[in-house]
């Protein structure tokens, strides 16, 4: 299976060019997007991009997998709670890499409310790709 990857500019173009995909009772597939980030800059960009896409795809499923350095930001920054709430309001599910949490010596309880953990971030991205998520990169 070929993994599809889009850059943020391509993601924004996709949001503008593709028609709105409504939810339907006939199992019409809804758009699904997954984004992996290790830094706080792309973390913020992913949330802003998903907010824009939410306007075009209000029924889409957005996943943001976070690993590495961004976990320190999420565990210690006062602004992290506001960004996490913003993500939740935009319909984004944030998943933290358990391996990175252990490496950074951060407990899941230190993360803002609403962030779930997965055993390993890269493996989660492979799982999402197999579930037909369009995987995005900064």
CATH no. for residue 71?
Answer: 3.40.1260.10
Instruction: Please indicate, yes or no, if residue 20 is contained in any of the structural domains.
Output: no
Average pLDDT, the chain: 82
- The predicted pLDDT at position 138 comes to 62
Q: Under the phi-then-psi rule, with left for phi > 0, alpha for psi from -120 to 50, and beta for the rest, what region is 91?
A: left
Instruction: Please indicate, yes or no, if residue 23 is contained in any of the structural domains.
Output: no
Task: Give the H/E segment covering residue 103.
Answer: helix 98-103
Count how many domains the chain has.
1
- The predicted pLDDT at position 89 comes to 87
**First and final CA of the chain: distance in angstroms?**
22
Instruction: Judge if pTM exceeds 0.85.
Output: no
**Structural domain boundaries enclosing 115:** 5-11+30-137
Instruction: State phi, psi for 93 to the nearest 5 degrees.
Output: -95, 125
- The predicted pLDDT at position 18 comes to 44
């Amino acid at each position: 299976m070929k993994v599809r990857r889009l850059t943020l500019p391509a993601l924004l173009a996709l949001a503008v060019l593709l028609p709105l995909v409504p939810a339907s009772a006939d199992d019409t597939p809804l758009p699904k997007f997954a984004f992996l980030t290790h830094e706080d800059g792309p973390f913020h960009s992913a949330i802003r991009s998903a907010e824009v896409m939410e306007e075009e795809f209000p029924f889409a499923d957005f996943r943001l997998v976070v690993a590495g350095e961004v976990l320190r930001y999420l565990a210690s920054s006062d602004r992290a709670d506001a960004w996490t709430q913003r993500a939740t309001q935009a319909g984004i599910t944030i998943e933290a890499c358990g391996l990175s949490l252990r490496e950074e010596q951060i407990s899941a309880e230190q993360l803002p409310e609403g962030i779930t953990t997965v055993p390993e971030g890269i493996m989660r991205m492979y799982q999402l790709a197999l579930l037909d998520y369009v995987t995005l990169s900064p």
